[in-house]
Amino acid sequence: MLETATTLLLAIHLLAMNVASAGPLAGAWLATRSRRAGDRSHALDRGARKTFGWSLACLAIGALVGGIMLLAPSAGVRAALARFPADAYWFAGSELLFSAACIAACVKLIHRPKLMWLLAAATATNLLYHFPPLMAVFGELAANGDWAADAVLDRPTLRRLWLRPEVLSLWVHFALASIAVAFAAALAACHRVATSAAESVDAGTARRLAGCALAATVLQIPVGIWLLLASDQASQQAMMGGSWPATIGLAGGVWVALGVMQSLATIAWGDDDRRQTFRACVLLTITVVFMSFALRSSRSANAGPAPAIDATAGDAQ
């Protein structure tokens, strides 16, 4: 029961951070498009503001859920936490506050495109550079303390671990997922703010948002294969039939992702309506839930002991 609850929390955390990471880019694009949209400029401007608002809310939700997950009663989690120096947590907190400030400023500067784009890009690069590889390393250590031999993970050590294939592939996969989820959410935001037929999402906007989400989703296929091949043998065997939760998670995620691509392709080809957008967003959510089960279950298959931590080494940092 605890494992299921933790996996669902992971899915919520991932979805929230997907929107927070790439949502500002989608919002900035909508704001830029609104300035040359004629009669629909007001609707697109509201859609951009809604997207920025959702991005900020998702950043708060992602940080909160991530914090709750760190409090899980798990020896592996506690051992992994102990291997990071104290300044790593202060740095992570400051990065989250910086990103929140940038997103909030995007709304205030929505009519100053250069500054808005600068802040949106700063948010995306900040969140996508620091947190996915850090969380990938933490997840590996929480499942298997022998994954890395270093007792204390300072910044040079972390950068070295980030280049390991299992971390790098998951990092790229998360970045692509962020684009897919955030741009689909931006399209949903445009539908949400439309109060009349005159404010409905124009075909060009819908096609471009869905096209970006579709391209990112398609690219996740080869990256997903890379991620599978980069995983250790125990994790591969778990997803290939050795563990039914991991196998069902992977197979179910791939199957539902086909439905995501079908919905996004339909929108990108010009057949957009609220129901198709809603279907794409729901299927994206289900895909993330399935893949979260696959990720956690496959890591559990390779679980190992947490190494003893030298308290004096941690204090020295």
pLDDT tens digit sequence for 8-49 = 999 999 999 999 999 999 999 999 998 876 656 788 899 999
User: Residue 64 contacts by C-beta under 8 Å, 6 or more apart in sequence?
Assistant: none
pLDDT class of 50 with cuts at 50, 70, 90: very high
Residue 316 lies in a domain: no
213 in helix, strand or coil? helix
pLDDT class of 199 with cuts at 50, 70, 90: low
Choice among 57-66, 199-208, 248-257, 284-293 with the minimum mean pLDDT? 199-208
Distance CA 297, CA 143 (A): 10
Distance CA 102, CA 118 (A): 9
Residue 315 lies in a domain: no
User: Cα angle vertex 172, ends 6, 98, to 5°?
Assistant: 75
Cα radius of gyration (the chain)? 20
Q: Could you give the percent of the chain with pLDDT greater than 70?
A: 91
Q: How many alpha carbons fall within 13 Å on the CB side of residue 199?
A: 14
Identify the pLDDT of residue 120. Answer: 97
Residue 144 lies in a domain: yes
First vs last Cα of the chain: how many Å apart? 37
| pLDDT tens figures, 77-100 | 898 888 998 888 898 999 999 999
Query: Exposed, middle or buried: residue 198 (CB in 10 Å: 0-12, 13-18, 19+)?
Result: exposed
Residue 310 lies in a domain: no
pTM above threshold 0.85:
yes
Task: Give the domain extent around 169.
Answer: 2-304
Beta bridge partners, 144, equal 304
CATH number where 210 lies = 1.20.1630
Residue 314 lies in a domain: no
In the chain, how many domains are there? 1
| pLDDT tens figures, 139-189 | 889 888 888 888 888 889 999 999 999 999 999 999 999 999 999 999 999
Residue 226 corresponds to which tokens in the numbers above? 């890379």
